[in-house]
Amino acid sequence: MKLVVAIALSLYACLSWAQPQPFPSRNITLVVPFPPGGSTDAIARIMAERMRVTLGQTVVVENVGGAGGSIAVGRVARAAPDGYTIDIGQWDTHVANGVVYPLAYDLQKDFEPVGLLSINPQLILGRKTLPAEDLKGLVAWMKANPGKTNFANQNAAAQTSAVLLQQLTGTSVLLVPYKGAGPAMQDLIAGHIDLLVVQAAAALPQVRAGAIKAFANMSPVRSAVVPDVPTADEGGVKGLYVSGWFGFFAPKGTPKDVVAKLNASMVQALADPAVQKRFADLGLDIASREQQSPEGLAAFHKAEIDKWWPIIKAAGIKAE
């Protein structure tokens, strides 16, 4: 009898072990495609801290830099599609890199969108000694001085912004290469360059101090972060939309119920007033509730690729 009971218990234990565990039953890895310290890393850590509460498991942030973020995104593309490895993507990693780098994965086919986190308003900034006071005046000044406008080129987003600005206004600029937004901002403040496009958070202190001019927010609507800066539409340049953004992606084939759990945890985090304040402090507008869904991010992501890939290809932008 004891032998029968022992065998039964052993079989029960084996069957119980063989049953799939409900998601999540262990730590989740959130891959950040850049070194620690940047805005992408900051957002990832804010979300990881809050999502741990609803998921009941630790969300481990792992920084994997290199090749403009393509190394990290490639790792996620090859990861097991079980929800335990996801990445925080943005314009560079999930749009521009599809043209700029020869990727071993497909940005549209090899990922499951989880949800859009935020929109990162971009500002057109100018040195304070520019004679223009608004976007209309800036365009007029640029047309009066063809080919003489120095435009900082610190990354692919800046270069494509310059291309779009020229296309929409019939102006021309001289691209000045920089290794980062920090040095470019210093030269803008010093008056060594004319124009710079960067995220609002990086420019607010200098704008408020009067060290530089903010000509436009390159978004369809005004930002809650910079409500006093008019949109490009309001400034007379229709369609000059260039926004950074952050979103969560999982490997292709991740079960829908797992994606749904990740999304629900993300949505709850974004609804937390404490998280909202931290986003605002970083100069980020939280995505609309519709955009926070997997379908919302999928549509947004496709629209970004459809818009930007032809522009990037036409400009001949490649990794240096």
* In the chain, where the domains are located: 26-119+244-315, 121-217
What sign for the dihedral angle of Cα 174, 179, 181, 184? negative
pLDDT for position 205: 86
Gap between the Cα atoms of 82 and 272, Å rounded: 27
CATH number of 121-217: 3.40.190.10
| Binned average pLDDT, 10 residues per bin, the chain of 320 residues | 55 53 96 89 96 98 93 98 97 94 96 96 95 97 94 89 94 92 92 94 87 95 90 95 94 98 98 96 91 98 95 84
Judge whether 26-119+244-315 and 121-217 match in fold.
Answer: yes
Q: What is the pLDDT of residue 226?
A: 87
For residue 39, the model assigns a pLDDT of 83
120 with 226: CB under 8 angstroms? Answer: no
pLDDT of residue 19: 58
- Global pTM reads 0.85
Superfamily name with CATH number, domain 26-119+244-315: Bordetella uptake gene, domain 1 (3.40.190.150)
> Is 16 exposed, middle or buried (CB count within 10 Å of its CB: 0-12, 13-18, 19+)?
exposed
Whole-number Å distance between alpha carbons of 251 and 78: 7
3-state secondary structure 40-60: HHHHHHHHHHHHHHHHCCCEE
Residue 8: its pLDDT value, please?
53
